[in-house]
Amino acid sequence: MIKTVNGGVCAPIGFKAAGVHCGVRKNKSKRDLALIVSDAPCAAAAVYTTNLVKGAPIDVTRKNIADGKAQAIICNSGNANTCNADGIEVAEKMCALVEEAIGIPATDVVVASTGVIGQPLDITPIQNGMPALVADLSEDGSQRAAEGIMTTDTRLKEIAVEFEVGGKTCRMGGIAKGSGMIHPNMATMLVFITTDAAIDPTLLDRLLRGDVQNSFNMVSVDGDTSTNDTVAILANGRAGNPTITAEGADLDAFAEALAAVTTYLCRCIAKDGEGATKLLECRVSGAATHLTAKTVAKAVICSSLLKAAMFGADANWGRVLCAIGYSGAVLDVTKIDVAFASTKGRIEVCRNGAGIPFSEETAKEILLEDEILIEIHLNDGEEKATAFGCDLTYDYVKINGDYRT
């Protein structure tokens, strides 16, 4: 049974976190440097962006956790450290600063950066900010760390859950940042997950890679895949459970907890899309294959026309059918049913691929809510999938029109 608890990435035993303003960002009211530390070595795994242009921290992190181990995460916001001639050197120096400050080997540090692409990252403010960052480390520091990795985010993205493995109570926590340039493929934005459960690193890696296919890979805000997307997880085993090394009830419990954390963070990211006013959740059922269900759900959530219609609370269900039609999924369009729902109710708008009479007034009332469910039934099988997105508003253009300046 999964139970939500407080504490974010510090909820699991043995983890501390911190977040401070060091000066990477000009706005002194914004934290721009975060640190997460375990008091014991951890099994570690991560997935990354598939964009060919990658932030330098990804190369360094990939190298550092190649042995399946890590003990700390350091991340700055305000500068992505991407497309810089000295990017690798700067990312490695960030890891070295952690070693100098708290003794954890630089090769056991996950490093990440987020912000503007193509601008040199000066290590000086990070170096000068390390004493304050280390001094800020505490068991209630998750929120400050979450604030330290935010860029255009307007909402904190943090969760922790409690679950049982091998007769022991375990915890898992996560923080995330992500608001724009979100259309992941293998990972998303920046997500850091901690747990005190003990699990084999190879199994942890496999589990994380499988989870993101149905969680973060099913989120889209604007169709742009970031250069710095990273999802990293650290498991320090401090809960004392027998190490999970194979399939079975313990692995299932761990996977369920991981899915609870990632799905929650997916919803947070989608709802906080740049300029967004609404969370869109597309649930596809009755598909012949899981791939078909995923393909349809993602196509609908990515449709700019559909996203704009949702912003205007316009029940333009034809845009749903249009997106399904160009998705590439193999299906019978004459079997498709569509409905819209929210806390204000549910209304069917399409049956067997054709429009049906419905009240435009009722539909508008439903679509004026800030969380909209798009239900699609393909009536062709038993498979299902869910994708998360947001509406497309005037403010998205405003935010990105002067993002760099």
Question: Phi, psi at residue 52, to the nearest 5°?
Answer: -65, -30
Which amino acid, 183? H
pLDDT of residue 207: 97
Average confidence (pLDDT) per 10 residues, the chain, 405 residues: 96 98 94 98 94 91 97 96 95 98 98 92 98 98 97 91 97 89 60 98 96 89 70 97 97 98 93 88 98 96 94 97 96 97 98 97 98 98 96 84 69
Q: Considering the entire predicted model, what is its pTM?
A: 0.89
Question: Phi, psi at residue 137, to the nearest 5°?
Answer: -60, 125
State the DSSP string of 338-389. EEEEETTEEEEEEETTEE----HHHHHHHHTSSEEEEEEE-SS-SEEEEEEE
Mean model confidence pLDDT for the chain? 93
Q: Are the beta carbons of 37 and 142 closer than 8 angstroms?
A: no
Question: 20 has which bridge partners?
Answer: 33
pLDDT of residue 403: 64
Element (H, E) at 175: strand 168-177
Q: Are the beta carbons of 296 and 376 closer than 8 angstroms?
A: yes
Q: Are the beta carbons of 82 and 121 closer than 8 angstroms?
A: no
Element (H, E) at 192: strand 190-195
Q: Which residues are catalytic?
A: 188
Q: Are the beta carbons of 336 and 324 closer than 8 angstroms?
A: yes
CA distance 189 to 184: 8
pLDDT of residue 186: 41
Question: Phi, psi at residue 387, to the nearest 5°?
Answer: -125, 155
Domains along the sequence of the chain with CATH: 3-271 (3.60.70.12), 279-401 (3.10.20.340)
pLDDT of residue 188: 45
